[in-house]
Amino acid sequence: MDAFFAAVEVRRRPELRGLPVVVGGTGGRGVVSSASYEARAYGVRSAMPTAMARSRCPQAIFIPPDMAAYAEASQAVMAVFRDITPLVEQLSVDEAFLDVSGSRRLFGPPAEIARLIRRRVAEELQLTCSIGVAPNKFLAKLGSTRAKPDGMLVIPADKTLKFLRPLPVSVLWGVGERTEESLHRLGLRTVADVADASLSLLRAAVGQSLAAHLHELAWGRDPRQVSTEHQEKSIGAEVTFDTDLGDPEALRKTMLALAQKVAARARAAGQAGRTVSIKVRFADFRTISRSRTLPGPTDVAHDILATAWELFEAVRAQQRIRLVGVRLEGLLAAEGAVRQLALGEEEDGWREAEVAGDAVIARFGRGALRPASLLGTTRRSAGAAGPRPQNPAPGMVVPLSDPPPPS
């Protein structure tokens, strides 16, 4: 989808069409979630601080996110895709892979199917999308990126190498800034350079596993199939503070709230995880992460917090904090979270209490039950100490890693 969040806002406010529109947190620490192409012409990009976006495009219209509206629009878009083929792999709220090999008899060749999808999305949903049509995922994704905005690019199998070879190495999946620098040092600047290089040279630059991966992509080979089964690899939440925070009590409250959110999401998904990780961004923007693998899987906030806080105390060093995050990794079915007690060991009852709390919250709402130490904090952030503001400013606290679930 093209500038999806901004496009949904323009759809419900047609007077904004043709104007620079920016969706994101509007507070001092807000971050851009989406920008219309009119705003992008001024250098506004996703994940950019809102303050920087304002300085680059002061005439832009800034709108706080409405995740429920974007989730509803996403469901409608995916419904159009599934009318064409059941083989839809949804990557995010605004992106998906479709395997249309079985749909040709009904809808014609792939290029015609792509035109049909673009036409239906435009006519039925008043939104635009860009589509790449190709023999595999890598090429299709690359095609859709280069077709933006509101375009379509077909890459036939017999034209793959002609299309790929002149492109810069940065188009290959797995090539970030550091990898690109490593390849450039060896004189490898285009996809053709990588394709023609020996594996031993690539290994010297990027290591064995990445070398083989990049070599395959450089020859247009990607064996991955479209998968309709989506399985979360991790569940996490993080908070950016409106003001850098140094109070240990407030920081612990924040991590408690994050652990509660992560654990509740894990239980709702029927999953548990063996590894707890934290992310910490200091006032000087230095960012670190730490993790620890537990003896067994858990979906209990009490356990997640205990590990996360130990990790956090080991790295805090009395510095003021800009952002903290908690994540549960190594997920598996929750049945695997049942831990065998040691002989004579008593159950602590934490999981039973939290499951009972889930039932209360499901019936009476999120505000019905919370740890006593979080009373008086905002729902959006336990790290914003003090009484709950009557009208918290949009973007005051920005959850970066996980969008809120559809309401």
pLDDT tens, 184-219?
A: 999 999 999 999 999 999 998 888 889 999 999 999
94 is in an annotated binding site: yes
pLDDT in tens, 18-28: 999 999 987 77
As a dihedral over the C-alpha atoms of residue 203, residue 207, residue 209, residue 213, rounded to 10 degrees, the angle is -60
The full set of domain ranges for the chain reads 4-65, 161-218, 234-338+347-374
Q: At how many degrees (to 10) do helices 301-316 and 350-364 cross?
A: 100
Query: Exposed/middle/buried for 203, CB within 10 Å: 0-12, 13-18, 19+?
Result: middle
Residue tagged active-site, from 9, 89, 95, 238 = 95
Question: Domain 4-65: which CATH class?
Answer: alpha beta
Is-catalytic flag, 335? no
CA atoms 402, 63, 390, 398: torsion sign: positive
Question: Does the predicted model carry a pTM greater than 0.85?
Answer: no
CATH 3.30.1490.100 for the 234-338+347-374 domain, yes or no: yes
**362 Cβ partners below 8 Å, 6+ apart?**
none
pLDDT in tens, 227-259: 887 666 789 999 888 889 999 999 999 999 999
The CATH number of the domain covering residues in 161-218: 1.10.150.20
Neighbours of 97 (CB within 10 A): 21
